[in-house]
Chain A
Amino acid sequence: MATLSFFYFGSVIVLCALLVVIFRNPVYSVISLLVMFFHIAGLFVTLHAEFLAAVQLIVYAGAILVLYLFVVMILNLQQDDSYQRQVKWGLGLGLLALAEVIAIISKAALPDEPAQSKTAAAAAGEAATVVGNTEMVGKALYTTYLFPFEVASLILLVAMIGAIIMAKKGIMEPGPLRESK
C-alpha cells in the first residue's frame, strides 16, 4: 500500500514537473506545478508528516504559486518564446544534475531503500501519535536546528527588505499622479 502510493505520487510528481517545462502556455505550467505541489504534500502524508504536508500546501500552493500566477497573468507571456532559447545551458545543467543524482543513488544502495524508509516512516508515525507531529517539528526547530533556523529567517528578512527597496524605487519618484487617502 505504502509502496503503491509512493510510486503513484512519485510518478505524478515527475510527470507534472516535466509538464511545467513542456507547456508553452505559462498558465498551464503553473497549474501543473500546482498539481505537483499537491502530490508532494501527499508524499509527506504517506510519511506521516501531516504538518509538512499542510505547510506545503499553504505556503507553496496557496501563496507562492498564486503570486506566480499573478505575475504570469499581468505580464501575459503567452506568445513570448524568448525563454525557450536556452537549450544549451539547460542541457549542460541538466546533465550535471543527472550525474549528481546517479552518484547519490548508487551510493545509497538502492535495494535497502524501501525498507529503510518504511521503518523510518513507521518510527516517525509512532512518535507522532505519542507527542504530535507538529510538536516534534517545533521542538526540533527550536532546539537542534535553532541556529540554521535563525539564519534562514535572517536571510529571508534581508531578502524582504531588499525586495521592498527595489519595489519602492519606482513609487517614491515624485509623479504627477494625485495621492488620495
Chain B
Amino acid sequence: MHALLTRLAERFPDAVLAVREEGPYKDLVAQVKPAAVPEIARFLHDDPEAAFDMLSDMLAVDYPEDEDRFEVIYLLKSLPRNHRLRLKARLPEDDPTIPTVTTVWKGANFLEREVFDLMGITFAGHPDLRRILMPEDYDEGYPLRKDFPTEGRGWRSTFPFLPRLDEPAAPMASEVPEDQHRPFLKEAEGLPKDTKAVRRQEELLLNMGPQHPATHGVLRMVLELEGERIVKATPDLGYLHRGVEKLCEGLAYQQIIPHTDRLDYVCSMTNNYAYVRAVEKLLNLAVPPRAEYIRTVVAEMQRIIGHLFWLGTQALDIGAMTVFFWTFREREVLLDIFEKLCGARLTLNYYRIGGVDSDFTPDLVQRLGAFLDTFPAHLHEYDELLLTNRIWLARTKHVAVISAEDAVNFGCTGPVLRGSGVAYDIRKAEPYGAYDKVEWEVPVGKNGDTYDRYWVRLEEMRQSAKIIRQCLAQMPEGPIIADAPQIIPPPKQKVMRDMESLIHHFIIFTQGFKPPKGETYCSSEAPKGELGFFIVSDGGPKPYRMKIRSPSFVHLGAFDHMARGYLIADIVTIFGTYDVVMGECDR
C-alpha cells in the first residue's frame, strides 16, 4: 500500500471509506464520504507529502442500479511530487449534493459547473452554479445520466428553447433583457463598493461573439467594460457542444477514434494519440517500438502544426498579418506529408489501438528531413518579425499575466503553465512514446505573460523539430501494430484471402473487443496542454463512461482572472494566448 494512502486513511479514519491501488498501473484511489470532501481536499492540497496542487479534472459517473447512484471523481495531480490520486465520493439519487472545492482549487469552478450541467449534481457553496455547456434555459434534464437517451428526448423541433422558423420571432425589448443581466452583472468581486460611489462609472455590456472574428470558433464573451477597460469577463461556452462524451458511450472503442479527431481539429492526431493511449492503458497493451517512434514523430509534427496555427492566428489578431501567411506556408508542407501518410489533411485518423495505421515510407522520411532542414530558418524569420518588434513587445509583455501559483491552482497546463515558469510537461513527467529515449528540453518562461507563452511555444517548435530528427535517426525496424489478435484486426490483405481472418475481422468490427472491468485516466501532452481521457469500462465493448479533460475548457476557467483590468483590445491577445479551440473546449 502506498504511503500516501495509509497516511490519508489514518488522518481521516471516519471520512475515508476505502483506499486502494487499482489496475495494472497501480492508480491511487481513495473513496471518501461526500461531506468530508472539502476538508480532505484542503489536506491533500496543503500537506507537503501529498501536495496535490492541481485539480486535473473532475467528473461524475452514473450507476442507476446502485444505492448511491452518482459517483463524483476528482482527478488530482501533484506537480512537485509527480503523482496522481483519484478521490471518489458516492451520492444518492434523491439528494445529489456535495460541497464545492472551489475554495481549494479555483479551477474547480468550471469543472463543477460542467458536472452540474451534464449530470445534475449540485455543489453546495459554488459561487456561480449555472449550466455551462447546455443552454441556460435547457430543461430536458441532464444529458450524461444513463436514463437520458443518446439521441435526446423527442424531436428537436419540439424543444421549446429552439427558435421556430415558421413563427414570427418574439419581440425583444433590448439586446439583453434586463433580467438576464443579473448573472453577468454580479458585483465585481475585486472592486470595493465605495469606489463605485466615488467615481461615476459608465459601464458598457458588450457581447463579444459568438460570431466574432477573434473568438476562434463560437465562443461568447460577456464583457463588462468601463470605458475600454474590462471589469469582468464571463465566457459563455457550449455553442459547439456535440455531446461527444455521450456519443462515445454508444460506440465501440475503435469507433471512437474518428470522434476524437473533431475535438481539437487543428491537431487531430494528438487527440487520437491521447485516446488510443488511454485505451491501451485500460487494456494494458504494449505497443511495438517502431510504432512508438512513429507515433512520437507524428505527434510532434502535429505539435508543430498546432503551434504554427496558433502563432499565425495570434499574430493576425494582434495585426501582424504576414506571420499568418508564413506560418501557413510551413503548415502546408506538413499537411502534405500527412496527406501522403494517411490521406487526410485536417481530420486525420492515423493512430490505431495498439499501433498506427500505416508505415513511414522512405519518401516521407526524406520529405520530413527536407522540411526539418528549412524549418529553423523559417522560425528565425518569424523571430525577425516579432521577437524584438517594439509593437509586438508592447502588445504582449505584461498582458494576461498569471502567476505560477494561480496557473497551477486553475489547472492550467501546457504552454500556459510553462509560460508562468512551471516546468511541467507530461512528456517529461510521465514519459510515453519515445520521449524518454531522445534528448530535448522543456522551455520555461518567467513572467507568465503573453510574451513568455509566445516564446515558450516558439521554443517548443524548435524542440519538436529536434525530437523528430532524433526519432527518425533512431527509428528501429519492426511491426507497426501490436500482436494482440483479440483486439487488433488482421491486415486487410489477409482478410480478402483467408476465411479465418475474415471471420476474425468481422467479429472485431461487429462486436468490438472487451477490455477488463475498471477505470483509467491517461493524459498526454497536447499542444494546448494536458489532454486526458478518463474511461470507465464495465467489461463491455463500449465504454461505460468517457470523460475528456480538454485543456481549452480548463484554461477558459482562468479567463476572467487573467482578463480583468486589461483593455478590450487585449481580449483578443488573451484569447489567442490560450490557443483555445472551441471544438475541444465544448466537446
Contact = CB atoms under 8 A, between A and B. Distances in A.
Q: Do A and B come from one complex?
A: yes
Interface of A: 74, 170, 173, 175-178, 180-181
B195 A175 contact: yes
Interface residues of B, number: 18
Nearest to B397: A181
B565 A176 contact: yes
A63 to B, nearest CB: 21
Where chain B touches its partner, the secondary structure class is: loop
A173 B399 contact: no
5 contacts: A74-B202, A173-B195, A178-B401, A180-B399, A181-B398
B558 to A, nearest CB: 15
A173 B567 CA distance: 18
A173 B198 contact: yes
Identify the 6 closest CB pairs spanning chains A and B, nearest first: A178-B565, A177-B565, A176-B190, A170-B199, A180-B398, A176-B191
Contacts of A177: 229, 231, 564-565
Nearest to A75: B202
B566 A180 contact: yes
B112 interface: no
Nearest to B201: A170
Contacts of B231: 177
Instruction: Give the interface centre of A74, A173, A177 by most chain B CB atoms within 10 Å.
Output: A177
Given A176-B191, A177-B565, A180-B567, 9 more contacts: A170-B198, A173-B195, A173-B198, A176-B192, A176-B195, A178-B564, A178-B565, A180-B565, A180-B570
Nearest to A181: B398
Interface in B556-587: 564-567, 570
Nearest to A171: B199
Given A180-B398, A180-B570, A173 B199 contact: yes
A55 to B, nearest CB: 32
A178 B566 contact: yes
Interface of B: 190-192, 195, 198-199, 202, 229, 231, 394, 398-399, 401, 564-567, 570
Nearest to B231: A177
Nearest to B195: A175
A176 B191 CA distance: 6
A155 B565 CA distance: 37
A74 B199 CA distance: 16
Nearest to A76: B202
Nearest to B400: A180
Nearest to A176: B190
Nearest to A175: B195
B82 to A, nearest CB: 33
Contacts of A175: 195
Contacts of B192: 176
Nearest to A174: B195
A166 to B, nearest CB: 13
Nearest to B200: A170
Contacts of A180: 398-399, 565-567, 570
Nearest to B202: A74
A170 B196 CA distance: 11
Instruction: Give the interface centre of B195, B564, B567 by most chain A CB atoms within 10 Å.
Output: B195
Nearest to A180: B398
A171 to B, nearest CB: 9
Contacts of A176: 190-192, 195, 565
A167 to B, nearest CB: 12
A181 B399 CA distance: 8
A173 B401 CA distance: 23
Contacts of B199: 170, 173
B573 to A, nearest CB: 10
Contacts of A181: 394, 398
B254 to A, nearest CB: 49
Nearest to A177: B565
Contacts of B190: 176
Contacts of B229: 177
Nearest to B394: A181
A181 B191 CA distance: 21
Contacts of B399: 180
Contacts of B570: 180
A71 to B, nearest CB: 12
A74 B394 CA distance: 28
B557 to A, nearest CB: 19
A175 B195 CA distance: 8
B139 to A, nearest CB: 37
B522 to A, nearest CB: 38
A176 B394 CA distance: 22
Contacts of B564: 177-178
Contacts of B401: 178
A107 B195 CA distance: 58
Contacts of B191: 176
Contacts of B566: 178, 180
A72 to B, nearest CB: 14
B193 to A, nearest CB: 12
A176 B566 CA distance: 11
